[in-house]
Every structure is written in C-alpha cells, then in structure tokens.
Amino acid sequence: MTTRVATFPLRLPVSLKTALETISDRDGTSMNQFLVVAAAEKIAAMQTEEFFLERRNRADREAFRRILNREGGEAPRPGDEWNESDGAGSPR
C-alpha cells in the first residue's frame, strides 16, 4: 500500500529547528520522520479525547448507578469506594 503525501513549507523558530535537529538525530530519524510521528501522536491523543468526550455525553448515568447499586457482587476494593459527598459522584 502506498501512502499519498503532500509537501508544504514549514517555518520554525531557529531555536525549535535546532532542538528538532538534535532530538531527531539522537532518535536516529530524519527531522521529517520525527515531525510526522509527533504530529501523528498529537492527532491520536486529540481524537482519543474527543472519542471519550462523546462517550461521556452519551452515558446513561441512571443506568450506571443502578448497575453499581445492584444486589450481589463484591464490595468495592479499598480506594474504589463511591464518594457521594462531592456531588459529582466520582470515585474516591
């Protein structure tokens, strides 16, 4: 599979370019490869954040509480208790 690529000029402050040269050399990659990987990591982190925000917004908190409060099962392990006093219902 061939990945299509695009090129564009990139303006960097001299200090950032110097640091990029040093770090990419230490990493054993070209500056281009280092920047591609850095951009991919940042995009993945932002998309992951967006994914979990969307999931949170679709959550049925009442169903969640029913599941947590149902009979049976094991008691929460130390540190996993539910903290009702903060109003947000977050774990301790």
Beta carbons of 82 and 89 less than 8 angstroms apart:
yes
pLDDT of residue 46: 98
pTM of the full structure: 0.61
3-state secondary structure of 44: helix
Cα within 13 Å of Cα(12), Cβ side: 14
pLDDT of residue 42: 98
pLDDT of residue 68: 83
Q: Tell me what the pLDDT averaged over the chain comes to.
A: 89
Give residues with Cβ within 8 angstroms of 25, minimum separation 6.
none
- The secondary element (H helix, E strand) that includes residue 65 is helix 61-69
Mean pLDDT of 24-49: 96
Sorting pLDDT into bands at 50, 70 and 90, what band is 21?
very high
